[in-house]
Amino acid sequence: MAVMLDYIMSAMIFGVLALTVARMQVNINSTLYDNTFNLRVQGNAVALALQIEKDFVKMGYRVDPSSGNQITLADTTRITFNSDWLKNNSISSVAYQAGDSTETTGTPNVHDFPLYRNGLKQDWGLTNFRIAYYDSTESKLSTPLSAANRLRIKAIQVWFTIQSPEPVISNIDTTWPAVTWQKMMYPRNLNSSL
């Protein structure tokens, strides 16, 4: 009888230890996925922020301000502007447009949508993308902006949120690692003389 109790107690202790080890493995895996997805989200946010800053700083370069062609379209989720990108007196345009939230990006995240730059689809994991425009007194201009109001733009605020393509599932909950970026930019060529 004592031997039987020893076997039962051993089996119970082994079961508790096995459950503890399994729970630790789940926690380790969740932490690993969380770190991996956070790193990916942060990398995407930095790359997109650098792209936007690089494009926006050149906005309107060598474009006659009185022509109204420095910024040709300005709305909350899209903008088109011109510049002499190559400094060769040849003006070309750049267009940013947030994709439709129903557009699929091929990830399990149903909230992400693509960003289009000059019609080329970029999948950053965006779940929010907004643009706001301000005049010289830093008063917000209502969108969409007419041609006359586009001439008043002195500052542009861009903000976006990027989420991971897959969730991190733990014992407690399911999370989507995310990064939000926001910046007010003052393109020096807007409404300036050539």
What sign does the dihedral 137-140-142-144 (CA atoms) show?
positive
CA gyration radius, the chain: 26
Beta-carbon neighbour count of residue 78 at 10 Å?
17
Q: 130-139: b or e for each residue (b if 16 or more CB lie within 10 Å)?
A: ebbbbeeeee
Asked whether residue 6 carries a pLDDT value surpassing 80, the answer given is no
The answer to whether the pTM exceeds 0.85 is no
Task: Establish if 191 belongs to a structural domain.
Answer: no
Task: Establish if 64 belongs to a structural domain.
Answer: yes
Task: Establish if 193 belongs to a structural domain.
Answer: no
- Beta pairing partners, 78: 97
Domains identified in the chain, total number: 1
- pLDDT score recorded for residue 7: 78
Q: Work out the average pLDDT over 18-35.
A: 73
Beta-carbon neighbour count of residue 55 at 10 Å?
18
194 vs 123, which has greater pLDDT? 123
Task: Establish if 194 belongs to a structural domain.
Answer: no
CA distance 146 to 140: 14
Q: Domain containing 15: what range?
A: 2-185
CA distance 87 to 32: 46
CA distance 124 to 45: 8
Name the pLDDT band for 151 (thresholds 50, 70, 90).
very high
Task: Establish if 142 belongs to a structural domain.
Answer: yes
Name the pLDDT band for 191 (thresholds 50, 70, 90).
low
Say if residues 34 and 56 touch (Cβ distance below 8 Å).
Answer: no
Task: List Cα–Cα distances, 121 to 53, 73, 78, 85, in angstroms.
Answer: 18, 19, 14, 21
